[in-house]
Amino acid sequence: MATPRFKCKQCGSCCINLIAHAYKALPTDEDFRRWEEQGREDIQVSFELVEDDNLIANYSDTEDETSICPWLYKLPDQDKYICLIQDTKPLHCRNYPVSKWHAESTGCTGFAP
């Protein structure tokens, strides 16, 4: 039996639901260093875990909170999403999903036929 291959279908589930082991979704020190070197002050958003291990992003300039990734953008008139920081997204995002189970448990359809 062939190993299923992952292909991102741009469903956005991984970014809409910052769930399941959310502590791993925190940007690494390397991510923050890279953003600082790139002058990406727009990415300097703080994250915190709240009840039920949900990850909340705090926008430093507006103090708004969201459980949806702040860099997720829904394409107009489509059920597809893109990452606004694709070229420099956090390590956790670049490594997503770590397994088929991980994808399925977060609502990702990338292993579906």
Distance (Å, whole) CA 40 – CA 32:
9
For 17-45, letters b (16+ CB in 10 Å) and e give bbbbebeebebeeebeebbeeeeeeebeb
**Residue that has been written with the tokens 């991984």 in this structure:** 14
What φ, ψ does residue 103 adopt, rounded to 5°? Answer: -60, -50
Look at the chain and count its residues: 113
Q: Is the pLDDT of residue 17 over 80?
A: no
Q: Per the domain annotation, does 1 fall within a domain?
A: no
Q: Per the domain annotation, does 43 fall within a domain?
A: yes
Q: Is the pLDDT of residue 83 over 80?
A: yes
Segment 80-88 shows an average pLDDT of 92
Number of structural domains found in the chain = 1
* Bridge partners of residue 83, in order along the sequence: 72
Residue range of the domain that includes 18:
13-105
Q: Per the domain annotation, does 113 fall within a domain?
A: no
Q: Per the domain annotation, does 20 fall within a domain?
A: yes
Greater model confidence, 99 or 24: 99
Q: Is the pLDDT of residue 61 over 50?
A: no
25-58 confidence digits (pLDDT tens): 667 889 888 988 999 888 766 665 556 555 555 5
